[in-house]
Amino acid sequence: MNLRLYGLRNEAFGFSGLTHSCSNRVRFTSRENSKRISASAENNGTPSKSFDYDLIIIGVGVSGHGAVLHAVEKGLKTAIIEGDVVGGTCVNRGCVPSKALLAVNGKMRELQSEHHMKALGLQVSAAEYDRHGVEDHANNLASKIQSNLTNSMKALGIDILTGVGTIVGPQKVKYGKVGFPDNIVTVKDTIIATGPVSFVPKGIEVGWKTVITSDHALKLEYVPDWIAIVGSGYIGLEFSDVYTALGSEVTFIEALDQLMPGFDPEIGKLAQRVLINPRKIDYHTGVFAAKITPAKDGKLVTVELIDAKTKETKDTLEIDATLIATGRDLFTNGIGLKNLNVVTQRVSFLLMRECE
Ligand SMILES: Cc1cc2nc3c(=O)[nH]c(=O)nc-3n(C[C@H](O)[C@H](O)[C@H](O)COP(=O)(O)OP(=O)(O)OC[C@H]3O[C@@H](n4cnc5c(N)ncnc54)[C@H](O)[C@@H]3O)c2cc1C
């Protein structure tokens, strides 16, 4: 029997699309499918005979957390395995810190608007920011939510197992920190909720400070004078807002013929009018950032632009920094899919598994 599991960029990736008749019981879940369920503060259930747990959830971002609440509600003896920090992308490297930065920007723009301030009868001589202060504001908010999330799961009696989780065989999962002996637990069902990571196109070398992804940008370790943002999806757009509010100039590089190609056209038009046109933002559309060389030995970052259709070189930008915002890719490395005979085809789009 073939079992097809579709990745984040396709459609269903949760319980409903899967058949459960295979002996290695694995389920995938992603945020798109997770439902908010209020779990009662009952204790973690008693496991079915002969297993340590009824359910193990590998990865605790919002998807894993949704699965935890559902499992508690169903009275399943449940453990989570988290290889990094509870809360995953959204809490630590996504929605939460990015919205914290956007809130700062909103205030900055308000203070910078002489006209607006005058209308309120206020006089502000110069709005300035402290980079560390802004960074701390975003980090503190993320830490607070992360700790609330951890405490709420502890209160529900969930076992929090720390380290990278790997499925080693049917109904067996190992976990452990690098350099420490592995622990192996037996489990009836496993949910993989290992989420996405930043997708970096081939040939682009990401390095701290000058060629970065949103993971680095959210730390706000550097506010460049001029930054190219490769990709004009929602992440690129959010960062154009962050950087321009803090004084940077932004150049978008977009492979398709228009900015924000993935947006609803009406929303795209509105975003262009309100968030792009009035700001220090220019753009190149219909081009790929083919080769990006990080800043080195006093030289700037170079970005070679090629025509998306003809593949001819169109321009080379010399710029302070480049943010790669070309989307997110499903993360399945190291979770042991091979041990279950899962074959990945076209990474992040389609997974196919043959079950005996
Ligand atoms: C800058 C930015 C802004 C965003 N803003 C928004 C927004 O405003 N609204 C919105 O809806 N979405 C937003 N998103 C998207 C949102 O953050 C993601 O869709 C969501 O976090 C995905 O959740 P997840 O639980 O599927 O994966 P994740 O949150 O990535 O969680 C997966 C977890 O699995 C862990 N893990 C991976 N492999 C293993 C392993 N082998 N063993 C143990 N643990 C493992 C990881 O450490 C991680 O904690 C944003 C994303 C970014 C990058």
- Tens digit of each residue's pLDDT (9 = 90 or more) over 230-255: 999 999 999 999 999 999 999 999 99
Task: Find out whether 353 and 341 touch, Cβ atoms under 8 Å.
Answer: yes
Q: Whose CA is nearest to atom 21 of ligand 1?
A: 90
Cα–Cα distance, 277 to 143 (Å, whole number): 35
pLDDT in tens, 318-349: 999 999 999 998 888 889 988 988 877 655 44
Mutate which of 89, 164, 243 for ligand 1? The one with the most ligand atoms within 8 Å of its CB, which is 89
pLDDT band at 205 (very low <50, low <70, confident <90, very high): confident
The CA angle 57-196-281, to the nearest 5 degrees, is 150
| pLDDT value at residue 340 | 87
CATH class (in words) of the domain with range 211-326: alpha beta
| pLDDT value at residue 8 | 28
The residues, ordered by sequence, that sit 6+ positions from 284 with a Cβ below 8 Å of its Cβ are: 251, 252, 253, 254, 305, 314, 315
- For residues 32 and 70, the model is more confident at 70
Per-residue pLDDT for 287 more than 70?
yes
| pLDDT value at residue 265 | 95
Q: Which amino acid is at 185?
A: V
3-state secondary structure of 323: strand
- For residues 329 and 287, the model is more confident at 287
Ligand 1 centroid distance, CA of 90 (Å): 5
Q: What is the 3-state secondary structure (H, E, C) of 61-87?
A: CHHHHHHHHHHHHCCCCEEEEECCCCC
| pLDDT value at residue 274 | 96
CA quadruple 221, 226, 229, 235: dihedral sign? positive
Terminal CA-CA length for the chain: 7
The runs of H, that is alpha helices, within the chain are 62-73, 88, 95-112, 114-119, 131-155, 214-217, 234-245, 265-271
Q: Residues lining ligand 1, judged by CB closer than 6 Å?
A: 30-31, 58-64, 81-84, 88-90, 93-95, 98, 164-165, 193-196, 214, 235, 331, 334-335
| pLDDT value at residue 168 | 95
Q: What is the rounded average pLDDT for all residues in the chain?
A: 85
Ligand 1 centroid distance, CA of 318 (Å): 32
pLDDT in tens, 75-115: 999 999 999 999 999 999 999 999 999 999 999 999 999 99
Per-residue pLDDT for 351 more than 80?
no
- For residues 303 and 180, the model is more confident at 303
Q: Which atom of ligand 1 is nearest to the CA of 62?
A: 25
pLDDT in tens, 7-51: 322 222 222 333 333 344 666 555 544 333 333 445 577 776 789
Average the pLDDT over 124-144 and give the result: 94
The residues, ordered by sequence, that sit 6+ positions from 244 with a Cβ below 8 Å of its Cβ are: 250, 279, 280, 281
Cα–Cα distance, 110 to 104 (Å, whole number): 10
Task: Name the residue ranges covered by the structural domains of the chain.
Answer: 2-88+141-197+329-350, 211-326
Which residues face 27 on adjacent strands? Answer: 191
pLDDT band at 207 (very low <50, low <70, confident <90, very high): confident
Q: Whose CA is nearest to atom 34 of ligand 1?
A: 59
* Shared fold status for 2-88+141-197+329-350 and 211-326: yes
CATH domain 2-88+141-197+329-350 topology:
FAD/NAD(P)-binding domain (3.50.50)
* Percent of the chain at pLDDT exceeding 90: 71
Q: Whose CA is nearest to atom 11 of ligand 1?
A: 95
Mutate which of 31, 85, 90 for ligand 1? The one with the most ligand atoms within 8 Å of its CB, which is 90
Average the pLDDT over 131-145 and give the result: 96
3-state secondary structure of 34: coil
| pLDDT value at residue 23 | 42
